[in-house]
Amino acid sequence: MATHAAFMPGAKVETPTLWGAVASWLTTVDHKRIGILYGSSAFIFFLIGGIEALIMRLQLARPDNTVVGAQTFNELFTMHGTTMVFLAIMPMSAAFFNYMIPLQIGARDVAFPRLNALSYWIFLSGALFLHASFVFGAVPDGGWFGYANLTSAQFSPRHTIDFWMLGLQILGISSMLAGFNFLVTIINMRAPGMTLMRMPVFIWMSFVTQFLLVLAFPCITVGLILLMFDRFFGTLFYVPAAGGDPLLWQHLFWLFGHPEVYILILPAMGIVSEILPTFARKPLFGAPVVIYSGIMIGFFGFGVWSHHMFSVGMGPVADAAFSISTMLIAVPTGVKIFNWLGTLWGGSIRFQTPLYFALGFIAMFTMGGLSGVMHASPPVDLQQTDTYFVVAHFHYVLFGGSIFGLFGGAYYWWPKITGKLLDERLGKVHFWLMMLGFNLTFFPQHYLGLIGMPRRIYTYAPDLGWNFWNLMSTIGAFTIALSFLVFISNVIRTTRSGKVASPDPWDGRTLEWSIPSPPPVYNFARVPQVRDRDDLWLQKYGDGHGGAPRPRPAPVTAAEIAAIHMPPTSFWPLLLAVAMAVMLSGLLISAYQIIIGGLLTLYCMYKFAMELHRPAEGHGH
């Protein structure tokens, strides 16, 4: 390992000062460090969103409760939804995209490393902007879905909606940049021999997710720009009294919002598709079908948005059409679940923590999928929509699915990223507490919804039969919180005194396990030649049809390492993100700030663009 010390990510061996260390993170363009930044930011926002949820559960623990008032509760559910979707699950997925895509495709970095850093800093500035609303006492209160015309200047005159709308716009820029970056990376940067069908399934699901990102975000961007014009410049896009249409917002929002659901779940599906083969010790069953199913889900994902709107009165023909398209999307989803079961079938399953979370994903996501089929049927949906049944449904998808999957990924790749093994016993305690708490919180909510408890109510009457299971749900929520404390203590303990991880602690199948843990800054000393989806497995064990294991490649020489060119660090991504934040927050403060921020942004963009420009030979100095 010592030979790699000089090539640790972003290391500045000559300046071991605090400032040097901080600066090396602020200026890093290394995809691995950016991945760590994304992951740790996302985890912090995940905890903030979780605390918001706990306060809501306290308020709902009993009827006519007074822990928080109506206004605060409305702010809490708005920020909880917005935070979990945009600031927790999406960046947690982005952490894995960043760290794992180059490693799994055998690349040394992403296609545009500085753009990658820019995505992160813009993400962080958007997240901080959104949370600045707490400081200014104008916390968004229109719901994460921000339905017009409640968000109009007439009905929400304070700055609450402005913080939400501008925050989402900033986050959208970050997602678009990251999406294009990963698309180009996956298309162009694969190691020789890695054909599309040899890409690991996590890469495939990430690939589909990037398409969804770059195609879906423009829809909400348009919606938000119209809202911004309505609020700031007095246009009337969503003002019904003037001929505007509040349903236009719903269409634009859900045309983004439904693909967004798949943006949140597909990465987790990809992670599960990596974990299961590793721990069952056999290839993913029907990998091409899993891949095609992911593509189908992404494609159909754009044709089902109005199933969020069955109650708005679109008429029977539209209801029928969107009902059928929604049921269609259940087919590839179900196929995936059966293929995962097929992967386990006939395996030799090692029960280690990452697998627990992957199995938890299958068990819980199945339930979320099945309740989803229920409200794919508009008549059934009419009763269930906007009740706790739907709250239960999408938490089974996004928590039982995405969060279980992402934690599976965290446990799976933790040794690769940190070089330390997480404690197995604490990991399993975490899993069981989370599983128990999750089901205690959300399973009763199906029942509460069916006996009529609507969403987004800060209080309820005591005589409706909702009291007991609301209390249970609150207890469950605190059990979930406890499970995360176990996770945090696991991280702290093993970081201090954990077992050192070997390069391949799980007996993995894909390229990232062929390099040291943590990987050197250049990832692969020698770009690998890929022959199979499970390339490393073949190297270790042969193809299982009598083909012998491949000979180990010759040791890498110092000269080879010295010849590797890596991009230099840069301050401009950070400065450009700050300049943009100054410009956009000027919309709430003063026109001068917009102008100054705009000029700064232009300047930073120019410097960013010209930073690596070298005058042609013979023309320069």
Partner 1 sequence: MTPRPSTVSRFPKRPDWTLVGLLGAVVFLTGACSWVGWNWDTPMSTVIPKSDFGRATHEIFMLISWWTLGIFIAVEGALLYCCWRFRERPGAPIPKQVHGNTPLEISWTIAFAVILLIIAIPTIQAIFKTQEAPAATALRVEVFGKQWWWEFRYPQQKITTANELHLPTGQMVAFFLNAPDVIHSFWIPQLGGKRDVVPHRVNHITLTPEVPGEYPGQCAEYCGMSHANMRFRVIVHTPADFEKWVKAQQTPPVEPTDPLAQQGKTIFTQSTCVGCHTISGVSAGHIGPDLTHFGSRTTFAGSLMTSTPDNVTKWIENPEHMKPGALMPNLGMTGEQSKALAAYLLSLK
CB-nearer residue toward partner 1: 455 or 607: 455
| φ and ψ at residue 451, rounded to 5 degrees | -100, 25
From residue 234 to residue 253, the character string flagging contacts with partner 1 as x (rule: CB under 8 A) and all else as - is: ------xx----xx------
Please report where in the chains the tokens 């229109």 appear, as a residue.
Answer: 142
CB-nearer residue toward partner 1: 112 or 163: 163
Is residue 345 part of the contact set for partner 1 (CB under 8 A)? yes
| Active-site residue flag, 292 | no
CB-nearer residue toward partner 1: 33 or 446: 446
| Active-site residue flag, 175 | yes
Which helix (H) or strand (E) element contains residue 320?
helix 316-344
The string of DSSP codes covering 116-132 is HHHHHHHHHHHHHHHHH
Cα–Cα distance for residue pair 534/543, rounded to 1 Å:
9
From residue 431 to residue 460, the character string flagging contacts with partner 1 as x (rule: CB under 8 A) and all else as - is: -x--xx--xx--xx--x--xxxxxxxxxxx
- Catalytic site residue from 31, 258, 282, 446: 258
Scanning residues 121 to 150, which ones bind partner 1 (CB under 8 A)? 143, 147, 149-150
From residue 528 to residue 547, the character string flagging contacts with partner 1 as x (rule: CB under 8 A) and all else as - is: ------------xxxxx-x-
| Active-site residue flag, 174 | yes
The string of DSSP codes covering 478-490 is HHHHHHHHHHHHH
Please identify, among the stretches 32-40, 300-308, 330-338, 490-498, the one whose residues bind partner 1 according to the rule CB under 8 A: 330-338
The first and second tokens of residue 136, run together, are: 């200014």
The string of DSSP codes covering 252-311 is HHHHHHHHHHHHHHHHHHHHHHHHHHHHHTSPPTTHHHHHHHHHHHHHHGGG-GGGG-GG
CA angle 59, 62, 65 (to 5 degrees): 50
CB-nearer residue toward partner 1: 415 or 528: 415
CA-wise closest residue to 99 among 161, 168, 38: 38
Is residue 324 part of the contact set for partner 1 (CB under 8 A)? yes
CA-wise closest residue to 422 among 519, 495, 505, 508: 495
Is residue 283 part of the contact set for partner 1 (CB under 8 A)? yes
Please report where in the chains the tokens 């993995």 appear, as a residue.
Answer: 508
Is residue 286 part of the contact set for partner 1 (CB under 8 A)? yes
Minimum Å gap between C-beta 375 and partner 1 is 9
Please identify, among the stretches 1-9, 44-52, 264-272, 368-376, the one whose residues bind partner 1 according to the rule CB under 8 A: 368-376
Cα–Cα distance for residue pair 40/34, rounded to 1 Å:
10
| Active-site residue flag, 206 | no
CB-nearer residue toward partner 1: 228 or 327: 327
| Active-site residue flag, 260 | yes
Scanning residues 486 to 505, which ones bind partner 1 (CB under 8 A)? 499, 501-502, 504-505
The first and second tokens of residue 498, run together, are: 């954990």
CB-nearer residue toward partner 1: 143 or 567: 143
Is residue 222 part of the contact set for partner 1 (CB under 8 A)? no
CA-wise closest residue to 96 among 515, 417, 518: 417
Is residue 158 part of the contact set for partner 1 (CB under 8 A)? no
| Active-site residue flag, 273 | yes
Find out whether 576 and 608 touch, Cβ atoms under 8 Å.
yes
From residue 81 to residue 120, the character string flagging contacts with partner 1 as x (rule: CB under 8 A) and all else as - is: ----------------------------------------
Find out whether 308 and 376 touch, Cβ atoms under 8 Å.
no
- Catalytic site residue from 160, 278, 333, 418: 333
Cα–Cα distance for residue pair 595/551, rounded to 1 Å:
62
Catalytic center residues: 80, 109, 144, 174-175, 258, 260, 262, 273, 307-308, 333, 336, 455
